[in-house]
């Protein structure tokens, strides 16, 4: 935990309020260094009504973790606007209903621990008190738990925890740098969902797996089902873990 982070519990008061009356409104969206999760990308590309390939090409940049070799997707800096988020406007966020989890969480940081015996996830939170932010110290009458509920972040956290589990598996089973085809599989199954769907339907990518007809019908229209299938597929392709989707 860094010096500007203070541990906080769900029952503590959330004395923070971000709104257009704050003199720093939108400033945090104009100095951005933000990684996107697969679920973030799913929500954003659907909000914009474009394919995953177009979204990734237009709005993001790709690099690979120097130690892990895993794909890392970040918002692409706009040369004309420094590190400004591509979706910030003078009135606020233009994709607010589908904004990434890290935007919803701010100014909270979240960490999780999973029990090896039960698989139960425990959450830990810290408040990030950055000097440039003027939203602190404002009484809202809400606890941290109530504030989080208002941010509609629970669905994002649930989906993003699946990515964390996948990364943990990789670190245990395949420590070191993932390269070549392995990195491509990770990218296709998690980030480029529309291409993943096309390869399943048009190129029989998963023809050796016994996927049910119901699942094949669902993935044609339901990106969340498709993402879960992608996670399952990556686990099999990289770690040899039996696919459970469609059973």
- Average pLDDT over the chain reads 90
Provide the number of structural domains found in the chain.
2
Per-residue pLDDT tens for 166-210?
Answer: 999 999 999 999 989 999 999 999 999 999 999 999 999 998 888
Domain boundary among 137, 154, 171: 154
Q: Is there a single domain that holds both residue 33 and residue 76?
A: yes
Per-residue pLDDT tens for 46-88?
Answer: 999 999 999 999 999 999 999 999 999 999 876 677 778 889 8
Question: pTM for this structure?
Answer: 0.92
Q: What's the pLDDT at 246?
A: 58
Domain boundary among 122, 154, 186: 154
Q: Is there a single domain that holds both residue 175 and residue 214?
A: yes
Residue 15, SS3 per DSSP: coil
82 occurs within a structural domain: yes
Domain membership of residue 174 as a residue range: 159-239
Long-range interactions of 193-196: CB distance < 8 A, separation 24+? 193/38, 193/41, 193/42, 193/52, 193/223, 193/226, 193/227, 193/230, 194/45, 194/51, 194/52, 194/53, 195/52, 195/53, 196/226, 196/230
246 occurs within a structural domain: no
Q: Is there a single domain that holds both residue 148 and residue 169?
A: no
234 occurs within a structural domain: yes
Strand arrangement, sheet containing 121-128: 5-8, 121-128, 108-114
Contact 39, 160 (CB under 8 A): yes
Closest to 98 (Cα-Cα) out of 48, 53, 159: 48
Q: Is there a single domain that holds both residue 104 and residue 43?
A: yes
245 occurs within a structural domain: no
Element (H, E) at 233: helix 223-239
Q: Is there a single domain that holds both residue 34 and residue 117?
A: yes
Structural tokens at position 76: 């692409």
141 occurs within a structural domain: yes
Q: Is there a single domain that holds both residue 107 and residue 190?
A: no
């Amino acid at each position: 935990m860094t010096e500007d982070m203070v541990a906080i519990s769900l029952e503590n008061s959330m004395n923070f309020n971000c709104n257009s009356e704050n003199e720093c409104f939108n400033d945090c969206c104009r100095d951005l260094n933000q990684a996107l999760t697969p679920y973030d990308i799913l929500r954003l590309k659907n909000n914009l009504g474009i394919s995953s390939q177009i979204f990734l090409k237009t709005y993001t940049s790709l690099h690979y973790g120097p130690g892990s070799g895993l794909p890392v997707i970040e918002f692409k800096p706009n040369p004309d606007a420094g590190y400004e988020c591509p979706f910030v406007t003078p009135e606020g966020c233009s994709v607010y209903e589908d904004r990434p989890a890290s935007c919803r969480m701010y100014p909270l940081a979240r960490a999780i621990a999973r029990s090896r015996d039960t698989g139960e996830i425990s959450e830990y939170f810290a408040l990030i008190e950055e000097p440039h932010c003027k939203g602190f110290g404002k009484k809202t009458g809400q606890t941290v738990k109530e504030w989080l509920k208002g941010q509609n972040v629970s669905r994002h956290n649930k989906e993003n925890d699946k990515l964390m589990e996948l990364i943990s598996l990789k670190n245990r089973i395949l420590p070191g740098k993932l390269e070549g085809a392995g990195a491509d599989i990770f990218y296709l199954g998690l980030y480029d969902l529309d291409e993943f769907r096309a390869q399943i339907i048009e190129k029989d990518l998963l023809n050796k797996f016994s996927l049910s007809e119901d699942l094949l019908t669902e993935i044609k229209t339901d990106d969340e089902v498709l993402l879960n299938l992608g996670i399952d597929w990556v686990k099999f392709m990289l770690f040899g873990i039996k696919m459970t989707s469609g059973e």
